[in-house]
Amino acid sequence: MPEPLFTDTTQIAIVVRDLDEALHTYVHEYGIGPWRVYEIGPKDIEDLVYDDEPLEYAMRIALAQVGRVEWELIQPTDDKGPYVEFLKTKGEGLHHVGVSVRDYDEALAKLRDKGHTVHIGGVYQGARLSYVSTDRDLKAMTEIVDPPETGGPEPSSIYPPTAVAS
């Protein structure tokens, strides 16, 4: 058996049509939150790609911790890009699972050697990220990240508004 390529599960991500409605449900029906909400446009991500080709698109995302795993909700805010396509072909649901790797470049090379492509990729606030096409054999895409040395950006808002994000 080969050495595991993934060392930890760090995130699950779900694409939704209406982020505000989803946040309400997650908080008020399931007690998941608080959520850090971010507005992300093409100018916020360097070298943004969709299926290994440059493409500009925009989204709103929200992040919350559930135990050790971060949950991400994603709503496309324009009419192009991978999240729009996902909603058209699959509807709302699980989009990807974030994992840790020992070495980002080595893991990406091994995944490419297996014939996988970078479905979504770029550099966000110093973090290199790749959503890799593992859905063909793992039934969900996998996101690997090479995190920056310093913390991430400040959210545009917190939901619910009275909550203090940790």
Whether residue 3 lies inside any domain: the answer is no
Domain count, the chain: 1
Q: For residue 129, is it within any domain?
A: yes
Q: Which residues constitute the domain of residue 106?
A: 8-159
pLDDT of 163 reads 60
- pLDDT (mean) for 118-131: 94
What pLDDT does 165 receive? 47
- CA distance linking residue 129 with residue 146, whole number of Å: 6
- What is residue 89's three-state secondary structure? helix
Q: Is 84 a domain residue?
A: yes
pLDDT tens digit sequence for 24-55: 999 999 999 999 999 999 899 999 999 999 99
Q: Model confidence at 153, in pLDDT bands (50, 70, 90)?
A: confident
For residues 123-145, give the mean pLDDT.
Answer: 95
Which of 63, 73, 60, 75 has the alpha carbon at shortest distance from 17?
A: 75
Residue 105 pLDDT more than 80? yes
Look at the chain and count its residues.
Answer: 166
Rounded to an integer, the average pLDDT of 12-23 is 98
The CATH code of the domain that includes 136 is: 3.10.180.10
- Residue 15, domain member (yes or no): yes
Instruction: State the Cα–Cα distance between residues 6 and 23, nearest whole angstrom.
Output: 29
